[in-house]
């Protein structure tokens, strides 16, 4: 088993989605878990929807339409107009609008997680449909039914034992049947009661680490549009050096001190099982 992770910039438009499918085809031999973020700046756009839901419901429809149009534009470049994915995504946006218009829940963090998580649900549905159409044996898997967390919305904590069990039940079994590639969401999980949770902004790398841990993966690859991990932030320093190989400890230190190339929580589960991480 291996894990690939693609962030929002790697699925920000139709060409990027094609590129992801090419990478999976060319480098994803064997059994593979693919973790994907929301497309482009969708998480920020979803945050604006949450805000309008709480403060000014008159803006909800317009903001939902703007995000829906963004995804329709991408899909229309990837699929023929009668592809079932259009109805599937449309239904998600309709439910989202209805949820925001009618929701009376007081817990803002809870609303945040129910709404913002849909960015990842939508992106993975689109990418999985495209990967399947390109002839690969893929399956869309629901991370809300695998990554079990507590109810600490916006920064949920992982129940590792339960996640291990749920991985076996809701993903691993598929690999024993006819699935080679499980495509799932980064950043999101679910509670025992069925509420959706999120793991904190930029948390998709962490999801890749969690899934690598519970599946005893051989390695994890975070695909990025940068050359790799540098010894300093190139926005601030001119003469940065690419680090070809570093220890888990150094990676944790660099990420905690701001190396935004990986989310700081990602390394620990990998270190615990000595699972190499490639960037």
Binding-site ranges for ligand ASP (CB under 6 A): 7-8, 37-38, 43, 119, 186-187, 201-204
CB of 210 to ligand ASP, least distance (A): 13
Residues in a beta bridge with 148: 190
Q: Which is nearer to ligand ASP, 35 or 100 (CB)?
A: 35
The H or E element spanning position 182 is strand 181-185
Q: Which is nearer to ligand ASP, 136 or 211 (CB)?
A: 211
CB of 44 to ligand ASP, least distance (A): 7
The bridge status of strand 2-6 relative to strand 188-190 is unpaired
Q: Which is nearer to ligand ASP, 43 or 221 (CB)?
A: 43
Q: Which is nearer to ligand ASP, 200 or 276 (CB)?
A: 200
Specify the length of the chain in residues.
279
In degrees, rounded to 5, the angle at the alpha carbon of residue 260 between the alpha carbons of residues 255 and 262 is 65
CB of 137 to ligand ASP, least distance (A): 26
Residue 279, Cβ neighbours under 10 Å: how many? 18
Which residue from 127, 174, 173, 124 is spatially nearest to 144, judged by alpha carbons?
124
Phi, psi (5° rounding) for residue 250?
A: -65, -35
CB of 38 to ligand ASP, least distance (A): 4
Q: Is 51 exposed, middle or buried (0-12, 13-18, 19+ CB in 10 A)?
A: middle
Q: Which is nearer to ligand ASP, 43 or 163 (CB)?
A: 43
CB of 39 to ligand ASP, least distance (A): 9
């Amino acid at each position: 088993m291996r894990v690939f992770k693609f962030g929002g910039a790697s699925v920000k438009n139709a060409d990027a989605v094609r590129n992801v499918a090419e990478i999976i085809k060319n480098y994803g031999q064997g059994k593979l878990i693919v973790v994907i973020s929301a497309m482009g700046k969708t998480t920020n756009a979803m945050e604006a929807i949450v805000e309008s839901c709480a403060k000014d419901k008159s803006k909800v429809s317009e903001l939902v339409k703007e995000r829906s149009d963004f995804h329709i534009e991408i899909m229309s470049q990837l699929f023929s107009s009668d592809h079932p994915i259009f109805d599937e995504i449309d239904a998600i946006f309709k439910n989202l609008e209805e949820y925001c218009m009618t929701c009376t829940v007081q817990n803002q963090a809870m609303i945040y997680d129910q709404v913002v998580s849909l960015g990842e649900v939508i992106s993975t549905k689109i990418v999985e449909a495209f990967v399947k159409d390109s002839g690969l044996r893929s399956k869309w898997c629901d991370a809300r039914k695998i990554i079990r967390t507590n109810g600490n919305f916006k920064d949920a904590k992982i129940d590792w034992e339960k996640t291990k069990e749920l991985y076996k039940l809701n993903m691993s079994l598929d690999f024993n049947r006819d699935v080679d590639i499980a495509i799932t969401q980064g950043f999101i999980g679910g509670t025992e009661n069925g509420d959706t949770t999120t793991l904190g902004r930029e948390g998709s790398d962490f999801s890749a680490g969690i899934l690598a841990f519970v599946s005893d993966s051989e390695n994890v690859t975070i695909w990025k549009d940068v050359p790799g991990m540098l010894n300093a932030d190139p926005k601030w320093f001119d003469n940065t050096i690419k680090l070809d190989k570093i220890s888990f400890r150094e990676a944790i230190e660099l990420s905690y001190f701001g190396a935004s190339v990986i989310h700081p929580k990602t390394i620990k589960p990998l270190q615990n099982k000595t699972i190499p991480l490639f960037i």
